[in-house]
Structure 1
Amino acid sequence: MEFDEVLRRRRMIRTYDPDRPVPPEIVDKLIRHALRAPSAGFSQGWGFLVLRDQADRDLYWSVTAEQDDATAGSWLDRMRTAPLIIVALSNKSAYLDRYAQADKGWTGRDEKRWPVPYWDIDTGFAALLIHLTAVNEELGSLFFGVPAARVGAFREAFGVPEEFTPVGVLTVGYPAADKRSPSLRRGHRPVDEVVHHGRWATTDRPGASDI
């Protein structure tokens, strides 16, 4: 598939065909492409938890579902049809260690030097490559987060080391008939509201674009 077509087709998919597993060779490709993501200092401070077995996927949903979410039933019923779950995790210590090495010129691991958490950003890049690869393979996927209150239960259930933080989760599978997200009604923001050339400019054109 041409790259322009991948971008045109890209959207978040919440419902999957439960009878069509993702072939092992495509699972391997998803992860291999994730490892091509850029990372500061080539630190590669990420990890990926791949859940393919039904028991593992059921465990994931059971330990991360927020019981007080009124919409959880409908949302989870649809999401549970995904035959593949990939949790993308970042490792801050890998970056602090890397930039304390001689070639980077820093003599310590002071986190205050970092203007933004590149360990999370780079892991997000990797997750996006998984998402786009899924589209290229005519699969669907959705990127979402582990609820903050459930991170501890998630770590315990899957033996995730403390230094790894779940940045996001991707469900992956062959798309099935899906509801159109109400968020899409907002449309794309106009280009001149989000792109600024030379200096930041304001606009008096609130609202959403039709394109």
Structure 2
Amino acid sequence: MEFREVVLRRRMVRNYDPERPVPPEVVDRLLEYATHAPSAGFSQGWGFLVLDEAADRERFWAATTPVAGDPDTDRRSRWLTGMTRAPLIIVPHANRSAYLDRYAQPDKGWTDRDEARWPVPYWHIDTGFAALLMLLTVVDEGLGGCFFGIPPERTEDYRAAFSVPAEFTPIGAITVGYRAADTRSPSLRRGRRPVAEVVHRGRWTG
């Protein structure tokens, strides 16, 4: 598939064919291509949890789904109906320590691990780059994918369920599978902002 077509076809898919697993070689490519994302100082402070067994996926949804009584439970249950059919979940994690350690090395010139030196948390940004490469690879492989967040109040339950080390922070999760019929997100009614509206050339304002 041409790169232009991959970009234009990319969208969040929220319903999957549960009878068609993702081939192992495709899973390997998703992960390999993710590691080609850029990272500050080539720190590569990411880690990916792959959940392709039914029991592990069930444990993921049990750990990350709001408990009964949550005011948002009804809406999320409708969303989960299609999402839980995905045969593959990949959870990208960012490791801040890898960046602080890397930039305290002699070739970077800093002598400490002070987080205040960082204008933005590049460990999250770079892991997001890796996640986007996976989403684009998903399209190139003829599959569907969706990136979504883990509710903050459920993060510790997720960590405990999968023994995630403290230095790794999940930035979200990605469902992957063969697309099934689904409905368009209501958010898409807002329309895509025109390029002319978001691009500023030379200076921000006249």
Indicate the TM-score class for this superposition, using the shorter chain for normalisation: over 0.9
Question: Structure 2: which 5+ runs fail to align?
Answer: none
Unaligned regions of 5+ residues in structure 1, if any? 203-211
Residue 177 (structure 1) aligned to one of 178, 181, 192:
181
Return the letter of the residue paired with 1:160: V
Query: How far 1:5 sits from its partner (Å)?
Result: 0.5
Q: How does 1:1-211 map to 2 (within 5 A)?
A: 1-67=1-67, 68=70, 69=72, 70-201=74-205
| TM-align CA RMSD | 0.8
Find the aligned partners of 2:205 and 2:128 in 1 and give their Cα distance. Answer: 28
Deviation at 1:201, TM superposition (A): 2.8
Match of 1:36, SS state, is coil
Q: What percentage of aligned pairs have identical amino acids?
A: 66
Q: How many residues align?
A: 202
The runs of at least 4 aligned residues of structure 1 exceeding 3 Å deviation read: none
Once the two structures are superposed, what CA deviation does each residue of 1:113-150 show, in whole Å capped at 9, x if it has no partner?
00000000000000000000000000000001111000
In 1, Cα distance between equivalents of 2:32 and 2:47: 12
**What secondary structure sits across from 1:149 in the alignment?**
helix
Greater RCO (Cα-Cα under 8 Å, separation 6 or more): 2
- Which residue identity does 1:37 align to in structure 2? A
CA distance in 1, matches of 2:26, 2:95: 25
Paired amino acid for 1:29: R
Take 1:191 and 1:31, find their aligned partners in 2: how far apart are those partners? 31
User: Matches of 2:80 and 2:90 in 1, distance apart?
Assistant: 16
Structure 1 distance, partners of 2:89, 2:5, is: 24
Inter-partner Cα distance in structure 1 for 2:52 and 2:76: 22
Q: Following the alignment from structure 1 to structure 2, what is the Cα–Cα distance between the partners of residues 46 and 13?
A: 24
TM-score normalized by the length of structure 2: 0.97
**Cα shift at 1:99:** 0.1
